[in-house]
Amino acid sequence: MSGIHGRYLRIDLSRGTSEHVAIPESVSRRLLGGVGLGTWLLLRESTPGFDPLSAEAPLVFAFSPLVGTGLTTSAKFAVVAKSPLTGFVCDALASSHFAIAGKRMGIDAIVVKGACETPSEWVRGVLRPTASWGRSAAETTSVLGGEGRVAAIGVAGEQLVRFATISADGRHAGRGGLGAVMGAKRLKAIVVAGELETPIADRTALEARADRLRARAAGPETAKYRELGTVGNLLAFDRVGALPTRNFQTSHFEGAEKLAAERWRGERAHRRAACAHCTIGCEQRYASRPGGAADVRIEYESQFALGPLVGVADPDAVLASSARCDALGLDTISAGATLAFSMECGERGWLEGAPAFGDDLLPWLDRIATRDGLGDRLAEGSLRLAREIGDEAVGIAPQVKGLEMPGYEPRALQTMALGLAVSSRGADHNRSSAYEADFSEEVDRMHGDARSVAAAVAAEERAAILDSLVLCKFVRGAMGDLFEESAAILSDLTGEAWSADGVETVAKRIVDLRRLGNEREGWQPADDSLPKRFLEEPIPGGPAVGARLPAERLRDLIRSYYLERGYDESGRISSDRRTAFESELGLDLTGPASGGADDA
């Protein structure tokens, strides 16, 4: 099968060794690369119930069949591990030359196991002490960049902050705390380089297909991302009552105008940039202060989490916080949401010394990353902090399965509410993207029903394919029928006949495999839900005033989702199906009876 190398590199940090291990072609056909292959490697290389911060925990960097093909947005890789934040299967994607250079080593993935005795860096096969411990990922990259392409952690990863990131080319595998997994191994950086080209079955046909996709990706379907980027969401979400504000207490922010990218355009320097091999160029950089150079990369999720969610309306402060998170290696969503949660706890008198809404976040981000004072407790994430405080606090902690919620108010976006509740990664906007239906006439966004279930299932499957090929989500609008076009691409690439149905089957398999992985690690039905606040309180004001998501409605949506997926009423996959997965994929998916976020 072309498009892959059929092997991965297993690095054992405890022994200082590495070896190539074969990947059966049947696995590549069944799961492709990225999150599909990465999940398989994680489950294959671990024993049920393992501690994500232990030496035995695998940390997987998975490339994909399309890496190196020149298809727009295909230079992406998935980092896969058991999340120290959720205790479940977690994958995070980043776009960078790291993916291209890594695959040129003649491998489809890297699996890092073991732990170094002292802080180290792995550079093209050599494990050596690092001089970069205590530095940012960007500084580390500038030191090591001459030797290859770098993936590195910042101070937060070193300090095992449960929402630390892994960075490459200034982009971040952000969610779930995978930087802490790397930090627990005392591994500062991985540097890759190679010369091997990806074998392509029909290069001419694939290049022609890539040209057509590139042309479409320059069209109206991606115009919003090119012209404004995701920061264009903020004001729109505010106007429809979907902008989480002050720890999700409401969904309309009085300072939204000041944080709107539409306004920034006239006030501060701006420039666009693009990831490796991307022709969309959604990255938006703005001057951190009027009059300065356009130096800060900002996305909607960072803008919302470090702005409205924490009651901050000063754009300079939001841009500075985003830059600080990047420098420290903190996931902006979890950092902002955990701080927002602590702020509300402080207001209620539950948490002494907590910051207040609207406070300067910079010292707090430093305290989290260095685990200084209250920052040490915040570094554990909102769910663990809430459990320390008490049950009432758990009800307002903005998380699902321990992962902090992205910038979509679930009461006003109820297809997304379902997507957030059932996602294997936790509160997640990238493995579901169910919000697409809410922002259409396809569903009644304020009243989830059967249409929402169908939309959430379809969105999950589209994401599973895009994240395994891997292609950027922003190219989705430029593709006609995603499964058909993916099948055509895979046929040209692999030299094998792929069908749209076959691709869809892969998507369903990946969704199921992640659920089986979570079951192995202790998932329980109660993990598929939303915090009490969303099920008991209507939105108190703003455009979506009165929007409610009663617990019964969410339960019905979840039950229908399980039915649609062929799970039992409690959301479990039948033992026959699990056995079939084990046999097809050579995995042991039987796990201990407990685990999950409680034990992580």
Partner 1 sequence: MSVARAGIVLCGGRSSRMGRAKAWLPWFDGRTLIEHVVERIRPAVDEVLVVTSVALDLPALDARVVRDREPERGPLAGLRDGLAATSAAHAFVTATDAPFLTTEYVDGMLSRRAACAPVEEGHVQVLSAVYPGEGAAVAERLLEEGRGRPRDLLEALDYEALDANDPALASAPWKGFNTPDAYLDAVRGEDPDARCRIEFLGRAALASKSPNLEVPVGTLGDVLAQAARACDLDLDLVEGEQVARGHLVSLGGRDLVRDLSLPVGPDERISVLDAQAGG
Report the site for partner 1 in 445-474 (rule: CB under 8 A). 445-447, 473-474
The verdict on 435 binding partner 1 (CB under 8 A) reads: yes
Q: Interface with partner 1 by CB under 8 A: which range of 56-64, 77-85, 226-234, 513-521?
A: 226-234
- The burial class, CB within 10 Å (0-12 / 13-18 / 19+), for 128 is exposed
Candidates 235, 294, 394, 454; binder of partner 1 (CB under 8 A) is 235
Residue 546 CA to residue 538 CA, distance in Å, equals 5
DSSP 53-112: TSTT--EEEE--TTTTS--TT--EEEEEEE-TTTSSEEEEEEESHHHHHHHTTT-SEEEE
Using rule CB under 8 A, residue 267 touches partner 1: no
Out of 433, 468, 518, 560, point to the residue binding partner 1 (CB under 8 A).
Answer: 433
Nearer to partner 1, 111 or 337 (CB): 337
| Smallest distance, partner 1 to C-beta of residue 223, A | 6
545 binds partner 1 (CB under 8 A): yes
233 binding partner 1? (CB under 8 A)? yes
Q: Which two tokens stand for residue 116?
A: 């170094």
582 in Cβ contact with 588 (< 8 Å): yes
Q: Tell me the window of 232-240, 308-316, 389-397, 522-530 that interacts with partner 1 (CB under 8 A).
A: 232-240
Q: Could you say whether residue 104 binds partner 1 (CB under 8 A)?
A: no
Does 548 engage in binding with partner 1 (CB under 8 A)? yes
**CA 376/CA 134 separation, integer angstroms:** 17
Taking the least distance from each CB to partner 1, the nearer of 283 and 485 is: 283
Partnered with residue 194 across adjacent β-strands are none
Closest by Cα among 404, 331, 388 to 365:
331
Closest CB 303 distance from partner 1, rounded Å: 11
Q: Which is nearer to partner 1, 266 or 291 (CB)?
A: 266
Three-state secondary-structure class, residue 122: strand
- In the complex, what is the shortest distance from the CB of residue 300 to partner 1, in angstroms, rounded to a whole number? 6
Element (H, E) at 584: helix 575-585
236 binds partner 1 (CB under 8 A): yes
Contact status, residue 317 vs residue 289, Cβ threshold 8 Å: no
> What is the DSSP pairing of strand 120-123 with strand 187-192?
parallel
CB 310 within 8 A of CB 304: no
Q: Give the pairing of strands 7-12 and 17-22.
A: antiparallel
- Closer of 369 and 539 to partner 1 (Cβ): 539
Element (H, E) at 7: strand 7-12
- Candidate list 15, 124, 128, 239; residue touching partner 1; CB under 8 A: 239
Among 223, 362, 450, 551, binds partner 1 (CB under 8 A): 223
Angle, CA 323 vertex, CA 436 and CA 357 arms, to 5°: 75
Does 93 interact with partner 1 (rule: CB under 8 A)? Answer: no
Q: Does 555 bind partner 1 (CB under 8 A)?
A: no
**Which one, 72 or 222, has the nearer CB to partner 1?**
222
Query: By CB under 8 A, which span of 65-73, 91-99, 133-141, 544-552 interacts with partner 1?
Result: 544-552
- Total residues at the site for partner 1 (CB under 8 A)? 49
- Give the one residue of 90, 544, 573, 589 binding partner 1; rule: CB under 8 A: 544
Q: Measured from the CB of residue 123, what is the shortest distance to partner 1 in angstroms? A: 34
Does 165 help bind partner 1 (rule: CB under 8 A)? no
Measured from the CB atom, is 43 or 280 closer to partner 1? Answer: 280
Closer CB to partner 1, 438 or 527, in the complex? 438
292 binds partner 1 (CB under 8 A): no
534 near partner 1, rule: CB under 8 A: no
Contact call for residues 87 and 155 (beta carbons, < 8 A): no
Answer whether 308's CB lies under 8 Å from 259's CB: yes
- Complex with partner 1: residue 237 or 562, whichever CB lies closer: 237
Burial 405-438 (b: 16+ CB within 10 A, else e): bbbbbbbbbbbbbbbbbbbbbbbbbbbbbbbbbb
Is 537 among the residues that bind partner 1 (CB under 8 A)?
Answer: no
Instruction: Residue 314: name the closest of 239, 364, 355, 263 by CA.
Output: 263
Strand partners, 271: 285
Nearer CB in complex with partner 1: 248/408: 408
- Cβ-in-10-Å burial (0-12, 13-18, 19+) of 266 comes to exposed
Which tokens is 379 given?
Answer: 């570094």
Q: Which one among 88, 163, 286, 300 touches partner 1, defined by CB under 8 A?
A: 300
Largest CA distance in the chain: 66
Q: Taking CB under 8 A as the rule, does residue 477 contact partner 1?
A: yes
By CB under 8 A, residue 232 contacts partner 1: yes
With CB under 8 A as the contact rule, which of the stretches 43-51, 123-131, 297-305, 309-317 interacts with partner 1?
297-305
Toward partner 1, which CB reaches closer, 299 or 527? 299
**CB-nearer residue toward partner 1: 146 or 266:** 266
User: Which of 158, 326, 404, 436 contacts partner 1 by CB under 8 A?
Assistant: 436
Residue 297 found at the interface with partner 1 (CB under 8 A): no
When asked if residue 230 is in the footprint of partner 1 (CB under 8 A), the reply is yes
In the complex, minimum distance from the CB of residue 209 to partner 1, in angstroms, rounded to a whole number: 23
205/454 with CB nearer partner 1: 454
Strand order in the sheet with 7-12: 17-22, 7-12, 109-113, 59-62, 76-82, 89-95
Position 4 contacts partner 1 (CB under 8 A): no
In the complex with partner 1, the residue whose CB is nearer, 52 or 426, is: 426
The answer to whether 285 contacts partner 1 (rule: CB under 8 A) is no
CA distance 20 to 23: 10
Sequence-distant (≥ 6) Cβ neighbours of residue 290 within 8 angstroms: 267, 268
- Least distance in angstroms from the C-beta of 322 to partner 1: 15
Residues forming a β-bridge with 75: none
- Looking at residues 398 to 417 of the shown chain, list those that interact with partner 1 (rule: CB under 8 A): 408
User: Rounded to an integer, what distance in angstroms lies between the CA atom of residue 335 and that of residue 116?
Assistant: 28
* Whether the bond into 503 is cis, omega within 30 of 0: no
**Positions that interact with partner 1 (CB under 8 A):** 220-225, 227-230, 232-233, 235-237, 239-241, 262, 265, 282, 299-301, 408, 429, 433, 435-436, 438-441, 444-447, 473-474, 477, 538, 542-548, 550
